[in-house]
Amino acid sequence: MLRSMLAGASLVILAAACASSTDAPAEPVETSTTSEPTPFELAMGTVNSLVEAGNEQIAIDRLTQLLGDPGMSDEQMAKALYARAKLRAAGGNDLTGAVADLKEIAAQYPESSIADEAAAMQAEAEAEFAMLNDMLASGDTTAMERFEILFRLGQHQEAADLMLAGALEPENSYILDMYQIGYLCDGDELAGPVFELVEPDGTSRAVQFCELGK
């Protein structure tokens, strides 16, 4: 299924830390003080917690809020952009946004510590972006495949329109993303087709398109 292919194309960047060693083991040093985490570290910790709980879209929103903080340093801005790009290029399903974030790092923060990793990731993201657009242009796709490609690219409104017009029933992961983004809602006042959603914590919901109930 196309979903499997798109998942395989998602980008995952792993960071490796190097440990230094000495000729003899150092004596343990006791200390009575610990450094308090900075506001940036606390914010990034919140983002990581959201991702671990399966709330990628909410984590992306948190990073977007963080990037609006005028007190951030260039290094922090670059790291926040990189974190958002990784989420968008993976479970966040917004390849267009990921490429934009990576381009901003290259243009605005070329001296940052993650500039090289961002450049490598940008090359891979742009290659996938071109491939998916070629698939769309070919016209040789089913309605569901077209939905999945549009959604992967970050063209969520176009994907939602196609989903509604074609009476498509995407997999739960798409329903979850659309619920977190705000295209699908739950409530007795809503109208239109009903989709079964299971959230990462196991909560089940019956959701419908938000706009149809207005």
Domain ranges of the chain: 52-138, 141-213
C-alpha to C-alpha distance for 86 and 92, rounded to whole angstroms: 9
Q: State what percent of residues in the chain have pLDDT above 70.
A: 83
What does the pLDDT average to over 70-87? 97
C-alpha to C-alpha distance for 15 and 184, rounded to whole angstroms: 35
Q: What is the pLDDT of residue 2?
A: 57
Q: Which residues touch 20 (CB under 8 Å, ≥6 apart)?
A: none
For residue 64, pLDDT beyond 80 = yes
Tokens of 171: 């997999």
For residue 36, pLDDT beyond 80 = yes
List pLDDT tens digits, range 96-146: 999 999 999 999 999 999 999 999 999 999 999 999 999 999 989 999 999
What does the pLDDT average to over 196-214? 87
Q: Smallest Cα–Cα separation from 87: which of 198, 181, 2, 164?
A: 181
For residue 11, pLDDT beyond 60 = no
Q: Tell me which amino acid residue 43 is.
A: A
DSSP state of 208: E
